[in-house]
Amino acid sequence: MSLLSVENLDVFYGDFRAVRGAHLELAAGQTIAIIGANGAGKSTLLNAIVGLSGRKSGSIRFDGRDIGREPTDRIARAGITMVPEGRRLFGSLTVEDNLLVGLAAERPGPWTLEAVYALFPRLGELSKMTAGSLSGGQQQMVSIGRALMTNPRVLLCDEISLGLAPKIIGDIYRCFETITASGVSVVLIEQNVVQACAAADYVYCMLEGHMSLEGRPEDLSQAQITAAYFGTG
Ligand code: ATP
């Protein structure tokens, strides 16, 4: 059974329908990726799942319960946490204080400060530095760590590789093995198709607000993905 299930979702900005009949299924313990070009509707879809979008219709179910009309704080308390695009850290607070923000969710679980520092040892060394003084990759680790501190059941990651060097992206993605082994299910939003396909069990491609292709990465050809990504099929 799916842990998170989206069916026939439409999301509007005014009259503009940015998401059109989108769907996805996330099973417990699974990692899925949503790929697509700029403006395809990926962030709008994620925001809709956590109750941060405008008008929407369709079905969003989490753990068997309809969360489509629930407020963001209840969705967060139920265990869906976002790693937002652009990281959104408190730049003048220390790394540690940024991580501690995640405790506000009050969900007990395996993810403590010590566990986050074990996952990202560099953050332990930098714990008293202000977040604003860190490199982009280190800031991304803080953003992921803060989300883990909520002890999520589902982690929604919006473009975590954006603007980072390939080596840093590799370092960050390696940590997802530990994250999923701890029982967290993951939704990755990525423009980086290679990275997404390497990390995910199942991939959806979004184009102009809907799913233009889906499948297990090993079953999708490069030509299929390119056509679905750019709408040239
Ligand atoms: P990106 O990688 O740039 O974040 P995306 O796939 O996440 O792209 P969205 O940001 O979800 O795409 O945007 C989907 C569509 O909705 C685009 O056409 C975009 O211009 C439009 N859009 C996004 N935010 C707003 C907004 N606040 N008001 C009006 N239109 C918006």
pLDDT tens-digit map of 197-223: 999 999 999 999 999 999 999 999 999
Structure confidence at residue 163 (pLDDT): 84
Q: How many Å lie between the centroid of ligand 1 and the Cα of residue 168? A: 26
Mean pLDDT, rounded, for 147-154: 95
Q: How many Å lie between the centroid of ligand 1 and the Cα of residue 110? A: 35
Q: How far apart are CA 29 and CA 59, in angstroms?
A: 22
Mean pLDDT, rounded, for 127-145: 92
Nearest CA residue ID for atom 20, ligand 1? 39
Structure confidence at residue 104 (pLDDT): 73
Q: How far apart are CA 219 and CA 216, in angstroms?
A: 5
Determine whether the shortest distance from the Cβ of 207 to ligand 1 is under 6 A.
no
Determine whether the shortest distance from the Cβ of 18 to ligand 1 is under 6 A.
yes
> For 13, phi and psi rounded to 5 degrees?
-110, 105
pLDDT tens-digit map of 172-203: 999 999 999 999 999 999 988 998 999 999 99
Determine whether the shortest distance from the Cβ of 87 to ligand 1 is under 6 A.
no
pLDDT band at 233 (very low <50, low <70, confident <90, very high): low
Three-point CA angle 186, 181, 35, nearest 5°: 25
Residue 114: strand pairing partners: none
Question: What interface predicted TM-score (ipTM) does this complex get?
Answer: 0.94
Q: How far apart are CA 76 and CA 71, in angstroms?
A: 9
Q: How many Å lie between the centroid of ligand 1 and the Cα of residue 45? A: 10
Say which residues have a Cβ less than 8 Å from residue 70's Cβ, sequence separation at least 6: 51, 78
Determine whether the shortest distance from the Cβ of 17 to ligand 1 is under 6 A.
no
Determine whether the shortest distance from the Cβ of 193 to ligand 1 is under 6 A.
no
Determine whether the shortest distance from the Cβ of 38 to ligand 1 is under 6 A.
yes
Stronger pLDDT, 141 or 233, i.e. the higher one = 141
Q: How many Å lie between the centroid of ligand 1 and the Cα of residue 177? A: 30
Q: Are 3 and 155 in contact (CB under 8 A)?
A: no
> For 118, phi and psi rounded to 5 degrees?
-70, -35
Structure token pair of residue 27: 């099973």
Q: How many Å lie between the centroid of ligand 1 and the Cα of residue 120? A: 31
pLDDT tens-digit map of 81-113: 999 877 788 878 899 889 988 777 678 889 999
Q: Are 22 and 206 in contact (CB under 8 A)?
A: yes
Q: How many Å lie between the centroid of ligand 1 and the Cα of residue 233? A: 23
pLDDT band at 119 (very low <50, low <70, confident <90, very high): very high
Nearest CA residue ID for atom 1, ligand 1? 38
Nearest CA residue ID for atom 19, ligand 1? 39
pLDDT tens-digit map of 37-87: 999 999 999 999 999 988 999 999 999 999 999 999 899 889 999 998 777
